[in-house]
Amino acid sequence: MIEGSQTPPTDTDPGWVGLLTYLLNSRGFDFNGYKPASLARRIRKRIEAVDAESFAGYQNYLETHPSEFATLFNTILINVTSFFRDPAAWDVVRIKAIPEIVAANAPGDSIRAWSAGCATGEEAYTIAMIMAEELGIDHYRERVKIYATDVDEEALNTARHAVYNERQVESVPPDLLDKYFEEVDGLFFVRKDLRRNVIFGRHDLINDPPISRIDLLSCRNTLMYLNSDTQARVLAQLHFALNEGGFLLLGRAETLMAYGHTLVPVDLRRRLSQRVGSVQRMERPV
């Protein structure tokens, strides 16, 4: 049994503080804004798996077994995603958000989307397929840019390769699978004319400045792992990122908190909202 495993650690626990500081300094992951109980529970799973017995002992293990970092981050970040995850939410985006975004922009204007916390890329390519279906593939290639970001570099590398197995593409509608993927030896490759408009990059929602002038922003099942103060700060960044009339899609367990006056619900059940009112770009929240 790990010492103190039934209680969340505090900022007076030197082993806990030392481990978080080590993760930040060695790999650039800042977990201080995460809910301590949830974060500690996941780290303790790895401590038990490697028989380290304590936070300090696990830090020593990481220092001598760098391959453990990937497993740890996969455990903490829970990169659970799929194409068209929660199909009803994507139906709302397709029916209510995308046509309005297209109508609000002149024919030659660019359309910008952001998949924040994109994990291995399925959500970003879902947005790409929806956009391509609405605009047609030629106009999609000319006008759409989809920014897909995450803190997990390993997940981003998977997303950039854009190769998925048969199980991973089960949720893609058959007509879209035929249209936007190429099958080779049982693997499914996202077609180049779709994926070249999806730009993957490492981005920390807590500490990095947001991407701006976004028409559709999806940040699903990410805020729920953060403490309330960090949630508010990240939501302010997402709010800042949106164009006037831009749409924000959150996860089903997440709420808009204090932004009801400028982010109005489009479909409350599916957590789709729209920014109203003028957008000031002079300063971003800190």
Give all strands (DSSP E) within 134-260, no chain letters.
144-150, 163-165, 181-184, 187-190, 198-202, 214-219, 242-250
Q: Are 72 and 148 in the same domain? A: no
Q: Which helix (H) or strand (E) holds 273?
A: strand 272-275
- Average pLDDT for 244-252: 91
206 assigned to some structural domain: yes
Selection from 30-34, 40-44, 213-217 with the highest mean pLDDT? 213-217
Whether 19 has a pLDDT exceeding 50, the answer reads: yes
The tens digit of pLDDT for each residue in 154-208 reads 889 999 999 999 999 999 999 999 999 999 999 999 999 999 999 999 999 988 9
Q: What is the pLDDT of residue 38?
A: 85
Number of C-alpha atoms within 13 angstroms, CB side, residue 92?
20
The tens digit of pLDDT for each residue in 60-70 reads 999 999 889 87
Polymer length of the chain: 286
Q: Are 124 and 240 in the same domain? A: yes
2 assigned to some structural domain: no
What is the total count of domains within the chain? 2
Look at residues 24, 42, 77 and tell me which one is the last residue of a structural domain. Answer: 77
The tens digit of pLDDT for each residue in 34-51 reads 888 888 998 999 999 999
Pairing between β-strand 181-184 and β-strand 187-190 as defined by DSSP bridges: antiparallel
Pairing between β-strand 144-150 and β-strand 111-116 as defined by DSSP bridges: parallel
User: In the structure, what pLDDT confidence band is assigned to residue 97 with cuts at 50, 70 and 90?
Assistant: very high
Q: In the 8-state DSSP scheme, what is residue 34?
A: B
Q: Are 72 and 92 in the same domain? A: no
User: What is the side-by-side strand order in the sheet with 181-184?
Assistant: 163-165, 187-190, 181-184
235 assigned to some structural domain: yes
